[in-house]
Amino acid sequence: MVLNRERADAIRATAHQVREDVVRMVHAAKCGHPGGPLGMADFMATLFIEHMQLTPENLHTPERDRFVLGNGHTCAGYYALLAAQGIIPREELMNFRKMGSPLQGHPHRNATLGIDFSTGSLGNSLSGASGMALGARLNGWDTRVYSASSDGESQEGQIWEAATSAAHYGLSNLTVIVDFNNIQIDGEMRQVMNVRDLREKYEAFGWHAVDVDGHDVVAVDAALCAAKDETERPSAIIAHTHLGKGVSFMEDQPGWHGVAPNDEELEQALAELEALQP
């Protein structure tokens, strides 16, 4: 079913709010990673709002859907979406990365906040998500497990061990969305360690895999629907995005992988985002 206009607009509005939250959170913390979550906001909002069954009401239900954020440094956007879902109090977002806050600089497993897996060291995410998917199947649960990853994380060998395992066990309840922006902390991914065509790689490992425009919520929704329809293989969605999307001086700039905006930059970022409000 094609995503209707009302639902698509609701997703875009949530992604817009996430972007504003991210720049405010990282500015308040005076540290963090704004570029990644700005680029991921559209596909992450599509996942959380339209597909993943995670609400305050089912938070402690064992068979609910699960999520693993592989590129854990992008967690400001993750936390903002949990706030949008009513799971994290919105006022807590401004305590991001501060002493005593549960919203650490990388996700720390917390059942009360709906954070299913601790991440930070790149490469572990798909193994964890695969284990969750296999466990859910063994328990007979109608659970879907989603993981966000990145082109940079795809440089880690453990990702491909997990990809082999997930295909071997036919984990059709597992979907990974890879943020493919060609940017990592040391520069362009293709210059640092080129992972090449990830769709072809996942297909070679036995997965259902597609390329999408990661900023097109209708296309992302269609890819997620196709993943649900797949009954024999895990699914990989390669989401092509722009780091820092929506903020001109951050877009496609490796320097904004992990730098907090100052007061003037925050003001400019919020003004540019306001001008793009859907």
Q: What would the mean pLDDT of 196-223 be, rounded to a whole number?
A: 98
Q: Is the pLDDT of residue 191 over 90?
A: yes
Domain that holds residue 25: 5-275
Beta strands in the chain (DSSP E): 66-69, 145-150, 174-180, 183-184, 187-188, 208-213, 235-240
- Total domain count for the chain? 1
- pLDDT tens sequence across 23-79: 999 999 999 999 999 999 999 999 999 999 999 999 999 999 999 999 999 999 999
CATH code for the domain of 179? 3.40.50.970
> Can you give the pLDDT at residue 278?
80
- pLDDT tens sequence across 145-170: 999 999 999 999 999 999 999 999 99
Average pLDDT, the chain: 97
| pLDDT interval class at 2 (50, 70, 90) | confident
Q: What would the mean pLDDT of 217-226 be, rounded to a whole number?
A: 98
Q: Is the pLDDT of residue 1 over 80?
A: no
> Can you give the pLDDT at residue 277?
87
Is the whole-model pTM more than 0.95? yes
Distance of CA 126 to the CA centre of its chain: 13
DSSP code for 110? B
Cα 68 to Cα 19, 106, 177, 273: the distances in Å are 20, 12, 11, 27
DSSP code for 215? T
Q: Is the pLDDT of residue 201 over 90?
A: yes
| pLDDT interval class at 178 (50, 70, 90) | very high
| pLDDT interval class at 276 (50, 70, 90) | very high
